[in-house]
Amino acid sequence: MAAGAKQFGLLLAIFLLGVAAAITWLSIRVLSKLALDLKETKPSFYSVSNLLVPKLNWVFDVALVINCFGGVIAYVQTFGSLLTTGLWGVIEWDKKTLSTQNTALIVQAAILLALAPLCMMKEISGTKIANMVGLGCIGYIFIMTFFYTPCTAAKADFGELLKPSNVLGLFGSFPTFIFAYGCQQNVFTVANELKDASMKKMNKIGFMSVATGALVYLPLMLLPYMTFGSSIKGTYLANLTNDDGTVDIPVMIAYVLASLSVSISYVLLLQPVRCSLMSLIFGANQPTGRKEKTYRIGLVVFLMLLSYVMAYILGDNLELPINIAGLLGGNTMCFVMPFLFYLKKYGFDKKSSFSIAIMATLVFCLILYPVCLTGIIYGAVNKGTN
């Protein structure tokens, strides 16, 4: 998020972060209404799309797989590098014998093995304890950030931080904000598993999810950027490394906890990927019993291995998988398809402000495809030539 602010400039970054939050909240409300109105059928992405737009029912699941699996790859990249740096602060080894890159590969493999049982759980509610641990990790990093970001770049030249880098690069970075808020893949699951689910409860869950994200993202985006300016790195914790390559103990702890938090997020994204692949493979005839368990475990093993290989191929290039996932997957799954579902089921009421907001947002999200894709291609080509 902090690196994305470098592309937008300070004011535009704040505005677009708010735009992404508002659109996310709107789409969660739409999906919640659909989930409750169709609750007797135990709705899923496949069943709702098959009911409302049967010719496009596969698009939703494909988009979800692209969005979530792009995040899965980025998380493997991230928790490998974060924990390696944290371990280096505790146990210094001969990097000529065991390089940082090879250490990261070992760390990634070890974490994936540890996460496998959670990834294989049938229901997402089984991860609630892990989710609380993840929130605790984010809380520590959130507090620590205030002590290590004195906003030196802002004090030196605040006006420079207001300037976007370039127009095309800016367009390519907006999907990062889409990806950051993406939680819509879990709305149907939450509605199905929530006891005495109601629109009031779902609205509360949706609002708290978006508000929590905004309250965390805003300072974690602004403070590092206002401190390091144009030198901000993809993972801003890397900017907190001392000149001699060492890190302070609080920062070292942050590396370890950030790796743990990202690992838990990996589980939350792999679960809907597995479910959507099962929908694409079996459609309405989902396997049950022992057969379902066999396919579930087999898919998880395949996906975990694939994410490990893709993370190795991409190395430290986080921007590409996140931006592609955010645009082609996140924009389609989180915004375009839910709004199409709503209009298909309830129609467009020109007297309803809610209906007008949905139509206007749908048009905006459709425009994002050519605009942001141009920016992503420009950024990838420009990075390659540099």
**Nearest-angstrom CA–CA distance, 12 and 6:** 10
pLDDT tier, 385 (very low <50, low <70, confident <90, very high otherwise): very low
**Nearest-angstrom CA–CA distance, 330 and 373:** 13
pLDDT tier, 337 (very low <50, low <70, confident <90, very high otherwise): confident
pLDDT tier, 118 (very low <50, low <70, confident <90, very high otherwise): confident
pLDDT at 319: 72
**Nearest-angstrom CA–CA distance, 62 and 384:** 28
Structure tokens at 233: 């790195």
Mean pLDDT computed over 177-183: 75
pLDDT tier, 49 (very low <50, low <70, confident <90, very high otherwise): confident
- Whether 305 has a pLDDT exceeding 90, the answer reads yes
Place of tokens 């430290």: 316
Show Cβ contacts of residue 19 under 8 Å, excluding neighbours closer than 6 positions: 177
pLDDT at 383: 63
Closest CA to 81 of 314, 323, 368: 314
Q: What's the topology of domain 2-385?
A: Amino acid/polyamine transporter I (1.20.1740)
* Contact of 191 with 42, CB cutoff 8 Å: no
Mean pLDDT computed over 354-373: 91
pLDDT at 306: 94
